[in-house]
Amino acid sequence: MNKKIIFIFVIALILGYFAGNSTLFSPKETKAPYTYNFQAPSNLKGEGTGFSEIVKILSPTVVNISTTKTVKREIQPFSQFFESPLGDFFEPFNMPKKWKEQSLGSGVIVSSDGYIITNSHVVEKADEIKVTLYDKEDYSGKIIGSDPKTDIAVIKISAKEDLPAIKWGDSDSLQVGEFVLAFGNSFGLSHTVTLGIVSALGRANVGIADYEDFIQTDAAINPGNSGGPLVNVKGELVGINTAIFSRTGGYQGIGFAVPSNMVKSVMSELIKGGKVTRGWLGVTIQDVTPELAGEFGLKESAGAIITDIFNGSPAEKSGMKRGDIIIEVEGKEVKNVVSLRNMIAQSKVGSILKLKVIRDGKTIPFEVAIVEFPSDTSEIASHQSEEAVSDENSLAGFRVLDLTDEIAKQLGLSNKEKGVVIVSVIPNSASDEAGLKKGDVVQEINKKRVSSLSDFNKAVSRLRDGDMVLLFINRNGKKFYVPFKVHP
């Protein structure tokens, strides 16, 4: 009986609340000029309002983007010469040769004059772009520029009045565990907001874009959220929602956003010239693993090891060498390959960067004049080595032969490449566990060049069971270091 009375009392309170707040259901009034006057609550518990103030302020900056593009059915080569006497009868459901396809996404207004950020894949190959604002007004969108390498695009609309624009935040100041809100049009449901935390920072090798430095979040990001803003508790833009990690196509607790600092840099380039110009150092690099850190005498596994240098590149002109470990760029720590790659790419062409590298245990400063990333690096020659012969030997579970011109050709390598080629790897051996493969070319042992089997044998003769060995490997043109412990 008591439970029944309590239940009726709660229902009465709820009905009383909505009765006293009937404006929630009243017709929309004339739109007042938009002002951004939000201050983050000092106490998130507040009066039980949660993040409603942030949502109320920021929702007008979020837009729905719908695109239409023409899709053409692929015609089989020579089909006009081998047409069936029954014509299109057996074609699937008499499918047309081309049709219109629609897709949905999100975007965020970043300037009062109508510039909008979204994902490159949202507007890719679009014939028409329709932008729907918070007040349901529709505008035609124009692509200002798109950068598939970061999955960022800028579009613009010509609105009747100044638009509400989101404030930029500093994504570099984000910390794992911070609250974030993801805005968007999830599954076409307009103005959806989800809450989560920053799960991880600097996520790369996800396979979404060429330049990846993602914010990982557990805030629900679903199809339709792409291009929407990720904001912090100050109401600032810290990322652009771009993808989910899912086996079902729906949310499974892992979403990714492009950091706002990267977005801002890309946006400026796109607005300025319609494309992104990236800096180039002219090196191939590898992460410093704990094993490599030990071999190079480093205290921690941070930085990026230079594994090759292009001829005539800024790195070569500055005096850098293979095996140098880049640890700092313009006073900022180089954590790994991804951080160095992004730092260099975002550097202005023509700028002089101050770098620090570790060489033979010593920290050496360099100044490098950054140039524009070439459109095709495949024709840029790398530094190479000397001579070759033929025989075989064994070391720590793999066997080798001299790298002849014929073998180099079979491996897709230049005949200028020197070393010894691995012809077999013993399963479950130390070399197998280290990831060595048949066809790998050994070009250095313990930082000593291996140009022939003779060089290889000399280096091997100095090794003892239990020694750590550092190999420099060329695998189909990709060069990297492999450390492991020698045993028969």
The DSSP code for 332 is E
Secondary-structure breakdown of the chain: helix, strand, coil percentages, each rounded to the nearest 5:
20, 35, 45
Contact 182, 165 (CB under 8 A): no
441-445 and 448-449: which strand pairing?
A: antiparallel
Contact 396, 428 (CB under 8 A): no
Question: Of these residues, 120, 147, 151, 382, which one is catalytic?
Answer: 151
Candidates 437, 374, 440, 384; CA nearest to 414 is 384
Burial string for 460-483 (b: 16+ CB within 10 Å, else e) reads beeeeeeeebbbbbbbeeebbbbb
- The two structure tokens encoding residue 184: 């968007």
Q: What are phi and psi of 386, to 5 degrees?
A: -120, -105
With a CB cutoff of 8 Å and minimum separation 6, the contacts of 296 are 288, 305, 323, 325, 358
Four-residue CA torsion sign, 407, 413, 414, 418: negative
The tally of CA atoms less than 13 A away on the side-chain side of residue 79 is 8
Question: Of these residues, 66, 106, 226, 260, which one is catalytic?
Answer: 226
Is 301 an active-site residue? no
User: Residues in the chain, how many?
Assistant: 488
Is 59 an active-site residue? no
Q: How far apart are CA 174 and CA 231, in angstroms?
A: 11
The tally of CA atoms less than 13 A away on the side-chain side of residue 59 is 15
Question: Of these residues, 121, 199, 213, 313, which one is catalytic?
Answer: 121
Amino acid, res. 482: V
Is 111 an active-site residue? no
Q: How far apart are CA 54 and CA 56, in angstroms?
A: 6
Q: How far apart are CA 376 and CA 366, in angstroms?
A: 26
The tally of CA atoms less than 13 A away on the side-chain side of residue 430 is 18
Q: How far apart are CA 356 and CA 318, in angstroms?
A: 12
167-168 and 236-244: which strand pairing?
A: parallel
Q: How far apart are CA 452 and CA 443, in angstroms?
A: 9
Q: What are phi and psi of 140, to 5 degrees?
A: -85, 130
Q: Which residues are annotated as catalytic?
A: 121, 151, 226
